[in-house]
Amino acid sequence: MARTRRAFLKGLAYAGGTAAVSAVPAIASEPRKAPDDAVGMLYDTTRCIGCKACVVACHEANDLPPDTRGDALYDAPQSLNDRTKNIIKLYQEDGRRSYMKQQCMHCIDPACVGACMIGALQKREYGIVTWESNRCIGCRYCQVACPYNVPKFEWEEANPRIIKCELCNHRLAEGKEPACCEVCPRDAVIYGKYDELLAEAKKRMADHPGRYVDKIYGEHDGGGTQVLYLSHVPFEKLGLPELGDEAVPKLNRTIQHGVYKGMIAPAALYVAMGAVMLRNRRKGDKGGES
Amino acid sequence: MSEHKATPVGGSLMTPSMRILLFVFMVGAALTVWRFAVGLGPSTGLSDGYPWGLWIAFDVVTGTALACGGYAMALLVYIFNKGKYHPLVRPALLTSALGYSVAAIGIIIDVGRPWFIWRIPISVGKWNLDSALLEVALCVMAYVMVLWIELSPAFLEKWQDSGNTGLANFSRGLSKFMDKALIWFIALGMLLPTMHQSSLGSVIMLAGPRLHKLWHTPWLPFLYLISCIAMGYAVVVMESTLSSRAFGRQREDKMLASLSGVTSGILFLFVAVRFVDLFLRGRGPLLIGEGYYSVMFWLETVLFLAPAIMLAGSRGRARIATMFRASMMIVVAGSLYRFDSYLVAFNPGPGWSYFPSVPETVITLGLVAMEIMVFIMLVKSFPILSGTSPMPAHRK
């Protein structure tokens, strides 16, 4: 009896999930790497002039309706939303200013993908995070999970979708670049293979010492992103969060896979509980102990 | 056990209070239809910054924790073999079955495309095993069914004496089968909440950097698990007290007292784990100086500690009023912990805010009204509650 009860309590502790995490870091999964065919973008704040040509091009390329929801006249979205997959913002403080481009970061180990129940959001070809309609039930867990606040929901639709930058994967299939990169007059945002973009960013930093903050955002942040940033102002001023080097979904993965590996712990717990109950019933004990 | 035999309460169903509940439910139902017509934007206070609100934080996360009475009682009676608590099991199971059913309906109302929900259980090959929410979804679906099966003997007992011979024979046959099989359903009824109540902590853990450091910890699943068990016991104490009063039944004071002892221990453990974890990870300084967040954390801590202390000594447990008050505080503490970790401590960045809209709130009230209505109807018609001897008239 004592032994089965102990087994039960043990199982309970496991299911709590935390014993696994705090005591057995050995089961922590290896950090993920960008896929071999990974592509991405490099945005350089020192080159952007804020013309917003990329915002318009993105709208056109992705068949998004104009966002005239402010004054019903101008197509002027305030931030990423269900009609805006790409936006240019302006940071201004104490005489310093910088433009900032926001869109999906196409994380190497994305939190939204870790959240998504049956894989509507996944890293598909070229490591691009895309959304598949018929696997989405609209639970919006991706929105809760994304540290960049990127996935957007069609709040005014009866059959809502998740809207986010998919790196113009429909254009890539035609041999074209993402619309924002193609249209940029200053090459402030460029498209390319992930490895080459990373090399280019490093080269620019080496060629222009002192021009940039001493870091490529996305090289390691949150486990790395396929969209990289160079900036002359601190990244947190541009709204890019300090995530550390660990991928956001890693802690969850460690716990889920530690506890539920092969469903052994739950199965053992189930059998143990059944066995304890059978034994209790056989003893016919109706609660003598108090 | 004969003195503990459960019997229907009886009496008329359409009382004035039932009419009020029915009205609230009808308004909620009408607003639900409207919500599906216009979408979630116009009908709720939700936004891209706060994609989850009242329905998830209350109906699902808090509601299922409050519905853990069935789980907590089953652990005690069947695993720790405290058969003396048996009379509390059926009402606890009914509250759980109703609470989880309401949570399931809440999810259907909350998600944007509920017509695809059926794909979750059948898309086995596509399951994302990283997703704690997937596990919650599967477990909750299964557990709703398991709870009604666990409760089925109450229905079968009644139907056995039905005038309809077909129904009576069917119930008798099924009863025999259930006598043997029930243990395995009960075991499932304990495994599933262990899994998904802890996973509700994992779900919000993924918000990672957007969840305040006082709440974000690898211990979230564990804290969610033990607090839901405490909440389960508290609800059992409250429900037993209230229904003995409402239906003029004898109370099970002694039982509730020793139950409260267990609860007290769990509460102390909860607070201890939280503080030790914070200090070990160097987050102790956040306890002061984080303004609003520190205040909320301390409010939670006081609400968890106070009932733990009230119930720690046998003197506190001797008084039903003290136990009831402590149980209410536990329910508030556990609910606040859940609201804080899903809403208050969740920070999507500047410019976002959330407050539930009126329709959103009324829909939730409608669901609660439905839950109470069905509870009253079922205990009046089916053998759920025990303690047949009516209480003295002046106590009614």
Question: pLDDT tens, B215-264?
Answer: 999 999 999 999 999 999 899 888 888 877 877 777 777 778 878 888 99
Contact at CB, B112 and A135, closer than 8 angstroms? no
Q: Please indicate whether, in this complex, the C-beta atoms of B80 and A278 are within 8 angstroms of each other.
A: no
Q: Which amino acid is at A174?
A: E
Task: Let me know if residue B255 belongs to a domain.
Answer: yes
Instruction: Report yes or no: B123 at the A interface, CB cutoff 8 Å.
Output: yes
Q: What angle do CA B44, B347, A83 make, to 5 degrees?
A: 55
In a domain, B70, yes or no: yes
Contact criterion met (CB below 8 Å) for B280 and B211:
no
Q: Which of B28-37, B291-300, B310-319 has the lowest mean pLDDT?
A: B310-319
pLDDT score of A15 more than 50: no
Q: Which residues of B touch A270 (CB under 8 A)?
A: 187-188, 191
Contact (Cβ atoms closer than 8 angstroms) between residue B60 and residue B367: no
Is pLDDT above 70 for B268?
Answer: yes
The per-residue pLDDT for A16 is 47
Give which of B3, B38, B40, B225 to mutate to test A binding, by max A Cβ within 10 Å. Answer: B40
The CA distance from B220 to B208, in Å, is: 11
Question: A133 CB contacts (<8 Å, ≥6 apart)?
Answer: A120, A161
Q: How far is B164 from chain A (nearest CA, A)?
A: 33
**pLDDT one-digit tens code per residue, A87-120:** 999 999 988 999 999 999 999 999 999 999 999 9
Q: Which residues between 9 and 68 in chain B have a beta carbon less than 8 angstroms from any beta carbon of chain A?
A: 36-42, 46-49, 51-52
Q: Report which of B39, B76, B287, B53 is spatially closest to residue B186, judged by C-alpha positions.
A: B76
- Select from A238, A229, A166 the least CA-distant residue to A197: A229
CA torsion sign for A277, A282, A285, B1 is positive
Q: Tell me if A252 and B206 make a contact (CB, 8 A cut-off).
A: yes
What pLDDT does B245 receive?
81
In a domain, residue B377? The reply is no
Whole-angstrom CA distances from A151 to A43, A101, B20, B99, B110 are 20, 15, 42, 31, 17
Residues of B in contact with A249 (CB under 8 A): 130, 206
- A28: confidence class by pLDDT, cuts 50, 70, 90: low
Q: What is the ipTM of this complex?
A: 0.91
The answer, for A18 touching chain B at a CB cutoff of 8 Å, is yes
Domain assignment present for B304: yes
Considering only CB atoms, which chain B residues are within 8 Å of A23? none
Cα–Cα distance between B321 and B307 in angstroms, integer?
12
The answer to whether the beta carbons of residues A101 and A90 sit under 8 Å apart is no
Tokens 């959103």 locate to B360
A72, exposed or middle or buried, with CB in 10 Å at 0-12, 13-18, 19+? exposed
Band (B182; pLDDT cuts 50, 70, 90): confident
Q: How far is B14 from chain A (nearest CA, A)?
A: 37
Q: Given CB atoms, is A17 within the 8 Å cutoff of chain B?
A: yes
Whole-angstrom distance, CA of residue A213 vs CA of residue A126:
28
Name the residue with tokens 């025990």.
Answer: B386
Q: How far apart are the first and last CA of chain B?
A: 26
CATH number, residue B236: 1.20.1630.10
* Residues 323-352 in B contacting A (C-alpha not used; CB under 8 Å): 346, 348-349, 351
pLDDT(B179) > 90: no
Distance of CA B293 to the CA centre of its chain: 26
Q: How confident is the model at residue B163 (pLDDT cuts 50, 70, 90)?
A: confident
Domain total of chain B: 1
- What are the DSSP calls for B73-135, one per residue? HHIIIIIS--GGGHHHHHHHHHHHHHHHHHHHHHHHHHSS-GGGTTHHHH-GGG--TT-HHHH
- Chain B residues whose CB is inside 8 A of the A253 CB are 130
Categorize the per-residue pLDDT at B8 as very low, low, confident or very high, splitting at 50, 70 and 90.
confident
Sign of CA dihedral A182, A185, A191, A196: positive
Q: Report pLDDT for A105.
A: 98
Residue at B367 is within a domain: no
- Does residue B300 belong to any structural domain of this protein? yes
The range of the structural domain enclosing residue B280 comes to 46-351
Cβ distance B222 to A145 less than 8 Å, yes or no, reads: no
Residue B392 pLDDT: 43
CA gap A244, A248 in Å, rounded:
9
Question: Is position B155 within any domain?
Answer: yes
Q: Are A289 and B82 in contact (CB < 8 Å)?
A: yes
Percent of chain A with pLDDT over 90: 71
Question: Binning pLDDT at 50, 70 and 90, where does residue A289 land?
Answer: very low
Q: How far apart are CA B167 and CA B177, in angstroms?
A: 15
For the segment A36-52, the average pLDDT, to the nearest whole number, is 96
CB-based contacts of B24: which residues, under 8 Å, 6+ apart? B362, B365, B366, B369
Residues of chain A with Cβ-Cβ distance to B103 below 8 Å are: none
pLDDT tens per residue, range A180-234: 999 999 999 999 999 999 999 999 999 999 999 999 999 999 999 999 999 999 9
DSSP codes joined into one string, B279-324: HHTT-GGGGSSSTHHHHHHHHHHHHHHHHHHHTTSHHHHH-HHHHH
* Nearest beta carbon to residue B218 from set A11, A18, A248: A18
Q: In angstroms, rounded to a whole number, what is the distance separating the alpha carbons of residues B350 and A126?
A: 33
In a domain, B266, yes or no: yes
| 3-state secondary structure at position A99 | strand
Distance of alpha carbon B15 from alpha carbon B23, whole angstroms: 13
Token duo for residue B258: 């020793």
Global pTM value: 0.90
Rounded CA-CA distance A191/A227 in Å is 9
pLDDT band at A7 (very low <50, low <70, confident <90, very high): low
Q: Which CA distances in Å does A33 have to A126, A215, A223, A225?
A: 13, 19, 8, 10
- Segment A238-247, tens digit of pLDDT: 999 999 999 9
pLDDT tens-digit readout, A147-166:
999 999 999 999 999 999 99
**What's chain A's average pLDDT?**
88
| Separation between Cα atoms, residue B324 and residue B234, nearest integer Å | 8
Helix, strand, or coil here: B225?
helix
The per-residue pLDDT for B317 is 81
